[in-house]
Amino acid sequence: MLSKKSTYISILLFFVGIIFIILSSSFSLAYPNYPKKEEIKDSSEKIIKARDENIINIKLSFIGDSLIGSFKGENYPGNFRDLLENNDYSFPYKNVSNIFKNDDYTIANGENVFTDNSLLEIEKDHDPAYWYYAPRRFANIYKESGIEVVSVMNNHTFDYGNLGYADTVDALKNNQIIVGDEKPVILSKENIQIAILCINLFSDYQYESCVNDIKKLKKEVNYIIVYFHGGTEYQYKPNNDIVRFSHGFIDNGADLVIGAHPHVIEPIEVYNDKTIVYSLGSFLFGGSKYFVNRTIIYQRELNFNLDTNEVNYNDNIIPCYLYTTETGYESWIPSIIENTEEKQKVLDFMNNLRDEPV
């Protein structure tokens, strides 16, 4: 038979056990996922590894002349304006918009006026001359297609004078499009800033003005791209002035130079370890369907290492048809070239291995 002392000890131990269980449960509820020492160590190693790989990736896509309009705004059965009126805003770029929507920024040259005003065409000193415009609402096509930046620095956005130009800029901004005008476009991602200089390039004065901007921006941004509009139309090689200007941009600090205006693609040159794409060609051009049916999407994926201040990149050229079929609405719609032989011809041409892309 147990003594009273033993009984008291047993009761005391019983209550101590109950208290221990209650405290253990409370601790588990308050810290249900409390990590083990091994887990803490693994987590610390992951943080250190992330700091060692402090890299910002930015993917850019460039396309050439995009004219979302028609000659003097004409609308008749079978023309490009008719296409726009009878389809939704996503239709013109429908075959390529998946590419644009899967990068950080897509940059295009917008070569037409957007206006709802009845404006007179400005007088031009050459013949034949062309004037292009579309209603303001069609600026939404860029937004719906995943195009974020549109340059208005070209020879058609003043087709209807200063008011037409102002209407164009306003229509683009109302659709959340970044407008490339006289001021540099600054694209930002995390701690990185990329400057894009959208310029007309038909004179030494325009060249020198751009060089001055490059020198100023070199101290302020991480990367500088010149996107120019100039050159000789329908020529597969850049003219001497464009080569001289492009080399000068690189010599003064530009990291990448890209051109448009000739309506045909022109090859790539690597100059002082920097890339020059002399012409992207026309891409979607409602003013005509008689251009050489080859164009490209030029992509550059930039990798900025914040620890070492190094910049690496990967380039990708996507050969495209300027129009998908010879007749009907699809004759205006660009699409990716799937035929291996036709695609390779374009790639070889861009790399100076062929005289023509077809």
- Give all domains of the chain, ordered by start, each with its CATH number: 55-350 (3.60.21.10)
Residue found by looking up tokens 């476009």 in the block: 185
Which class for 102: exposed (0-12), middle (13-18), buried (19 or more C-beta within 10 A)? exposed
Both tokens of 213, joined, read 């901007």
pLDDT at 343: 98
Q: In angstroms, rounded to a whole number, what is the distance separating the alpha carbons of residues 110 and 98?
A: 20
Q: In angstroms, rounded to a whole number, what is the distance separating the alpha carbons of residues 246 and 255?
A: 11
Return averaged pLDDT per consecutive 10 residues of the chain, 358 residues in all: 47 51 45 40 40 82 96 93 93 97 98 97 92 97 98 96 98 98 96 97 98 96 98 97 98 98 97 98 87 95 94 97 84 94 98 96
Task: Name the residue among 299, 293, 225, 288 with its Cα closest to residue 255.
Answer: 225
Both tokens of 231, joined, read 């050159």
pLDDT at 10: 53
Q: In angstroms, rounded to a whole number, what is the distance separating the alpha carbons of residues 68 and 84?
A: 9
Q: In angstroms, rounded to a whole number, what is the distance separating the alpha carbons of residues 344 and 87?
A: 33
Q: In angstroms, rounded to a whole number, what is the distance separating the alpha carbons of residues 280 and 317?
A: 10
pLDDT at 13: 52
Task: Name the residue among 135, 131, 143 with its Cα closest to residue 92.
Answer: 143
Q: In angstroms, rounded to a whole number, what is the distance separating the alpha carbons of residues 358 and 346?
A: 7
State which H helix or E strand residue 223 sits in.
strand 223-229
Q: In angstroms, rounded to a whole number, what is the distance separating the alpha carbons of residues 31 and 24?
A: 11
Amino acid at 209: S
Handedness of CA 257, 225, 203, 250 (dihedral sign): negative
- pTM, two decimals, is 0.84
User: What's the alpha-carbon Rg for the chain, to the nearest Å?
Assistant: 30
pLDDT at 346: 98
Per the CB < 8 A criterion, the answer to whether 344 and 318 are in contact is no
3-state secondary structure of 8: helix
Per the CB < 8 A criterion, the answer to whether 230 and 151 are in contact is no
Per the CB < 8 A criterion, the answer to whether 151 and 108 are in contact is yes
State which H helix or E strand residue 6 sits in.
helix 4-30
Amino acid at 254: A
Per the CB < 8 A criterion, the answer to whether 110 and 55 are in contact is no
Which class for 298: exposed (0-12), middle (13-18), buried (19 or more C-beta within 10 A)? buried
Task: Name the residue among 170, 226, 164, 236 with its Cα closest to residue 195.
Answer: 226
3-state secondary structure of 74: coil
